[in-house]
Amino acid sequence: MSAGLPTAVDDAAEVFDRLRRHLSPKLALTGSFAGRGAVEVSGEGCRVTLSDGRSVLDFGSYAVTLLGHRHPDVVAAVHRQLDTMPTSTRSLANPVAARAAACLAGYLGDVLPKVYFGLNGADVVEVAVKLARVASGRSRVIAVSGGFHGKSLGALALTHSPLYRVGLRGCAVDVVHVDPQDPDAVLRELGAGDVAALVFEPVQGENGAVALPLGVLRRWSEDAARHGAFVIADEIQCGLRRCGERSVALAEGLPVDAVLLGKPLGGGVVPLSALVCSERLYAPLDADPFLHSATFGGHPLSCAALPAALGAIEELAGQGGELSDQLGAGLERIRQRHPGVVSELRGRGLLRGIDFATPRAAGSVVLELATAGLLVSPCLGRPTTVRLLPPLVATAADVTEAVEILDGAIAVAERSAGGSLPGRNGHAHT
């Protein structure tokens, strides 16, 4: 070994030491488990290369990499902007943001003409609720049990799980959560008065890829619209063809005032989110564009990525349907092979949830998957469930490989537990 030239192992050790000292010891621990002591070095398509030379299949990344890593069209668009004007004066009009807004409104059929850009999902949840309260003059918001809308204080009020509110006495928004199996729930809350908005995810990602009943969503949306409350579809995880449609809510004909988009909107290259909404909801910003603003909202690098990302998503949309069918069939075979461990399959399109009998079973499988070379996304609020989020750029061979790795990981977890992983009825599965 040459003096002063660190090895890949030394580099990884230094990364984990810095994580422990400057970020969080628990982040270092979970990252070490996930990479078996290695760290991520580069990505291309649906594969990530680690510091020890291994290549792993990425069906995780919390839904950001719908186009995989470093999609060439998106990277080229960002490079062009980087070479021209990578930031904005915030005083002069920026053509890149204007072009991106028009592109996104057109992508959704021009039925929601107004756009606000943020950097992450919580950004646009915050502004959507803020606008709904100002435009309506009302204060209450209806959200859905099991929903996840972010962890900033305003968005956190809409997020259902109390896990993220430990140590916090309350949040700034008056929110009630309703049962997605109760068609009358929204009407009852509207009857109590002062409702500014109804906010829902058509497919709840963090809750384990739970698709909400379409009939209930339609009833809720129509009730809210009749009473003058704004209807906001949070599709930050399930939109942009992840679940088959550009917008699930718009495709189903729900009377929404806004669609929230994020995660893959920047093509997996730069952070970007968007509120796409009606003129009525946007009216407070029309009256005062500085009512809600952010230094990096509408950032030129992010906005430059958007047209390229949407174009690439549409080119791959048909392939997404084929991958979805293949993945669904493969997961069903796994469920049949491991009935005592895999308790339920959920999801739509390329957002799939595998529910295991216990959190321990799910955790064992996630660790084994990391060792075997498949990255997935656990559900922080639902520890029995693991999400599979394959990118549109995956091939049939990639899906076959992922299903085989998953099947093997479940089998290893069963064997390592000595046949003692409990099944759905609470008894050991042997």
pLDDT in tens, 381-392: 899 999 999 999
- Predicted confidence (pLDDT) at residue 158 exceeds the cutoff of 90: no
* Chain segment 242-277, per-residue pLDDT in tens: 999 999 999 999 999 999 999 999 999 999 999 999
**Where residue 6 falls among pLDDT bands split at 50, 70, 90?**
very low
For residues 171-198, give the mean pLDDT: 93
| Rounded mean pLDDT, 13-24 | 93
The pLDDT value recorded for residue 261 is: 98
What's the half-sphere exposure (Cβ side, CA atoms, 13 Å) at 41? Answer: 14
Residue range 49-67: average pLDDT? Answer: 96
Mean pLDDT of 331-353: 95
Average pLDDT value for residue range 23-50? 92
Is the pLDDT at 153 greater than 70, yes or no?
no
Helix 396-416 to helix 300-337 angle (10° resolution) is: 50
Confidence of residue 155 (pLDDT cuts 50, 70, 90): low
| Structure confidence at residue 380 (pLDDT) | 79
| In the predicted structure, residue 428 carries a pLDDT above the cut 60 | no
Q: What is the pLDDT of residues 218-247, one digit of tens each?
A: 999 999 999 999 999 999 999 999 999 999
Pairing of strands 174-178, 140-144: parallel
Higher pLDDT, 8 or 269: 269
Q: Residue 191 pLDDT more than 60?
A: yes
What does pLDDT average to over the chain?
91
What token pair was written down for 155? 């968005």
Residue predicted with more confidence, 159 or 130: 130
Q: Rounded distance, CA 208 to CA 351, Å?
A: 9
Return the ∠ at Cα 332 (arms to 318 and 207), rounded to 5°: 80
First and final C-alpha spacing in the chain:
49
Q: Is the pLDDT of residue 212 over 70?
A: yes
| All domains of the chain in start order, with CATH | 8-69+316-416 (3.90.1150.10), 72-313 (3.40.640.10)
* Whether the predicted pLDDT of 159 surpasses 70: no
Q: What pLDDT band is residue 427 in, cutting at 50, 70 and 90?
A: very low
Supply the DSSP string of 25-65, one letter for each residue. Answer: HHHHHHHHHHHTT--EEEEEBTEEEETTS-EEEES-GGG--
CB 370 within 8 A of CB 405: no
Residue 400 has a pLDDT of: 98
What value does the mean pLDDT take over residues 399-408?
A: 97
What's residue 42's pLDDT?
95
User: Quick check: 195 pLDDT over 90?
Assistant: yes
Neighbours of 306 (CB within 10 A): 27
Count of residues in the chain: 430
pLDDT the model gives residue 381: 81
Whether residue 39 is predicted with pLDDT greater than 70 in this model: the reply is yes
Q: With pLDDT > 90 as the criterion, what percentage of the chain qualifies?
A: 81
Q: What is the pLDDT of residue 430?
A: 26
More confident residue, 142 or 2: 142
Assign 340 to helix, strand or coil.
coil
Q: Which region, left, alpha or beta, applies to residue 240 given φ > 0 means left and ψ of -120 to 50 means alpha?
A: left
Is the pLDDT assigned to residue 125 strictly greater than 80? Answer: yes
State the pLDDT at residue 370: 85
Mean local confidence (pLDDT), 310-322: 97
